[in-house]
Amino acid sequence: TGMFTYDPGFLATASCESAITYIDGDKGQLLYRGYPIDQLAKSCDFMDVSYLILNGELPNAAQKSEFDSLVTHHSLVHEQLHFFLRGFRRDAHPMAVLTGLVGALSAFYHDSTDITNPRHREISAIRLIAKMPTLVAMAYKYSQGQPFIYPQNDLSYTGNFVRMMFATPCEDYKVNDVVERALDRIFILHADHEQNASTSTVRLCGSSGTNPFAAIAAGVACLWGPAHGGANEACLQMLEDLQANGGIAKVGEFMEKVKDKNSGVRLMGFGHRVYKNYDPRAKLMQETCKEVLSALGLENDPLFKLAMELERIALEDPYFVERKLYPNVDFYSGIVQRAIGIPTSLFTAIFALARTVGWIAQWNEMLSDPEYKIGRPRQLYTGAVVRDVPAQR
């Protein structure tokens, strides 16, 4: 092609330098700023990890408390945004609502629109991280026809989200520790994953110099697709279908279908393009899954028994072992979210909430790079050669 290379899907093209996340698929390794994901998941909360992803280092106690308080004090959204939300149908998909709400934020924060000013970029980052839980919970409450629950400043980031999701104004609500910890872990495990489709979308969109709310809305839109953030929803759908069609008694038959290449059926939540050894996030999510099911007394719930049975068979079956097909993070995260009462249609919105910190850190990294340029892929033109418009048509 002379001037440029043809690389559909960017399988062989690095689009940027980045110092945020490192993945080694063969080793099953995921690092945020050099720290292994399992160590972060065990010793840090989502605010520590967000600070780390944004700033490059873990916060000390004073930095943590300042960051916490900054995020907490930006968690309210402009009251007018409630009216914007009310324009949606109640049965709108939460990702449709979220794409709209995040994009609409750009119309509310005119005080920090200079993206060349690092201070403005920082405020926008804090606002987005702080407001995402509020927006996701608003979308959920709206779909249920329930009143919105406003953020409460003495709760943790994740505790606050749990309360905004599940509390009602009619009763005192106490956040369940196990639920809070489980969601916090889901947030940590989904916070960044280097140049995946939605992150690349945020960078490309942001490279035009558009405002961060618009760039993140583009990321939300991209994440929505079933080949990306939509996989955990697909996994739960599979479990529900199997349950409705015979449940555990039909697992053997279902697995035969999965192994039959002509059936077109895959075991959703298994296999990964990059992790061929194991998905380090899945191991951590599996722990959380066991903890949540036992703490909530759901070990005997038929759907969860079914999931555990599929997992048991797949981990022993030579078909999966030979092809290095292990459960991925979505297999367990779907089960955990269902166990804590999050409806399947909201799973991808929760993923978006968690990934916002990664998106905004990558956007900021791009704008801080003195070499940054507007993204402008080339093409191989395959259309008609030059020709004249006929004189008579």
- Catalytic one among 93, 272, 301, 388? 272
- Residues whose CB falls within 8 Å of the CB of residue 136, separated by 6 or more in sequence, listed in order: 94, 98, 161, 165, 346, 349, 350, 352, 353
Q: Considering beta carbons, is residue 166 or 270 the nearer one to ligand CMC?
A: 270
Residue 241 near ligand CMC by CB under 6 A: no
In the complex, what is the shortest distance from the CB of residue 331 to ligand CMC, in angstroms, rounded to a whole number?
7
Distance from C-alpha of 182 to C-alpha of 186, rounded to nearest angstrom: 6
Location of structure tokens 């479990």:
239
Q: Which residue is nearest to ligand CMC (CB)?
A: 271
Q: Considering beta carbons, is residue 59 or 280 the nearer one to ligand CMC?
A: 280
Distance from C-alpha of 361 to C-alpha of 19, rounded to nearest angstrom: 10
Q: Compose the 78-117 pattern: x for residues touching ligand CMC by CB under 6 A, - for all others.
A: ----------------------------------------
Burial of 378 (0-12, 13-18, 19+ CB in 10 A): exposed
Q: Considering beta carbons, is residue 73 or 266 the nearer one to ligand CMC?
A: 266
In the complex, what is the shortest distance from the CB of residue 236 to ligand CMC, in angstroms, rounded to a whole number?
11
**330 a catalytic residue:** yes
Binding to ligand CMC, residues 311-350 (CB under 6 A): 323, 325, 328, 330
Distance from C-alpha of 58 to C-alpha of 55, rounded to nearest angstrom: 8
Q: Considering beta carbons, is residue 94 or 271 the nearer one to ligand CMC?
A: 271
In the complex, what is the shortest distance from the CB of residue 253 to ligand CMC, in angstroms, rounded to a whole number?
15
Binding to ligand CMC, residues 258-317 (CB under 6 A): 258, 266-273
DSSP 8-state assignment for residue 11: S
Distance from C-alpha of 308 to C-alpha of 360, rounded to nearest angstrom: 36
Distance from C-alpha of 332 to C-alpha of 292, rounded to nearest angstrom: 11
Binding to ligand CMC, residues 156-215 (CB under 6 A): none
Around 281, how many Cα atoms within 13 Å sit in the side-chain half-sphere?
28
In the complex, what is the shortest distance from the CB of residue 26 to ligand CMC, in angstroms, rounded to a whole number?
13
Question: How would you label 305-336 residue by residue, b for 16+ Cβ within 10 Å and e otherwise?
Answer: bbbbebbebbeebeebeeeebbbbbbbbbbbb
**68 a catalytic residue:** no
- Catalytic one among 48, 192, 279, 330? 330
Contact 234, 226 (CB under 8 A): yes
Footprint of ligand CMC (CB under 6 A): 228, 231, 258, 266-273, 323, 325, 328, 330
What are the catalytic residues?
272, 330
